[in-house]
Amino acid sequence: MLDQNEIYQQVIFETLGPLAQLKSAVLIAAGNQNQGVRLETSEGIFFLKVNIDHERNILAKEAEGLQMLRNSTFLKIPETFGYGRIEDFNYLLSEFISSSRQQLDYWEDLGLGLAHLHLTNSTTFGLDSDNYIASLHQKNYQYDNWSEFFIEQRLEPMVGKAYFDKLIPLDFLKKFQTIYSKLNSLFPKEKPALLHGDLWSGNVICDQNGKPCLIDPAIYFGHREMDLAFSKLFGGFDSRFYEAYESILPLEPDFESRIGLYNLYPLLVHLNLFGTAYLPGIEKIIKLFQ
């Protein structure tokens, strides 16, 4: 079995070529399944994400998502140099983003850049393949209707998993499903827009030029209000971000009243990942729409 430095050297061999050599490796982030490592090599400094999940294509899907974002917005998206699997480790090697002080127009740039992203449209909601949100499988079968997609590809898989894993009882599942019949009348009609899909403050970082940079996407074509609602779930976004976004793509009236509906999905994701502490927030939203 290879030790960590041997794995890192194999990664740079596969991605940067046989002449590339490892100089140093520093662990800079660690989660339940992912590690982030700063690799200094003879070819420069890179960011390595290593994942020990059994899903062999999880980081390949992340690389695809980053490429789609890169093609669809002027915002900074880290360049990727390769991905693969070595022994039990999935890896993704990408550009290392050095942080700096935010420029004065940081939040305006982020709002305009997200609006630019949402101007990339499709004829259907979904994507041509499934991917992941965090470590969870994200279904993307394509639908013509947003509420049908949202129910069948977002809410049902996550609430069903929570029930299967005994995080919620049957009566809660049935109560949750009572809102489905009301959704079509509550969502404004919009073209399917390319979404980041996991837009919380931890997935927006400041680059070396003081500009916003998007990382860790869970992309698909969805209702653009999903990204805006997700950004409000845990906070951390300045009001200038929303003002700049709406200067390009104004939101339909009563967006604030719909935020909870959209955020049922990320709350279910967090329920499945981290446990029942997220149940009260879900219950509160359900009560509002029963």
Supply the residues annotated as catalytic: 198
d(C-alpha 265, C-alpha 220), whole Å: 14
Place of tokens 């390009």: 248
Reference 210, options 135, 290, 103, 286; nearest CA is 103
Q: Which amino acid is at 152?
A: E
Torsion angles phi and psi, residue 170, rounded to 5:
-60, -40
Angle at which helix 239-248 crosses helix 225-233, to 10 degrees, equals 180
User: If you count DSSP H runs as helices and E runs as strands, how many of each does the chain have, helices first?
Assistant: 11, 11
- The CA distance from 86 to 130, in Å, is 23
Q: Which amino acid would we find at residue 27?
A: L
Full DSSP string of 55-105: -TTHHHHHHHHHHHHHTT-SSB---EEEEEEETTEEEEEEE-----PPPTT
Q: Quick one: which H or E segment has residue 23?
A: strand 22-30
C-alpha distance from residue 267 to each of 136, 142, 192 (Å): 13, 23, 22
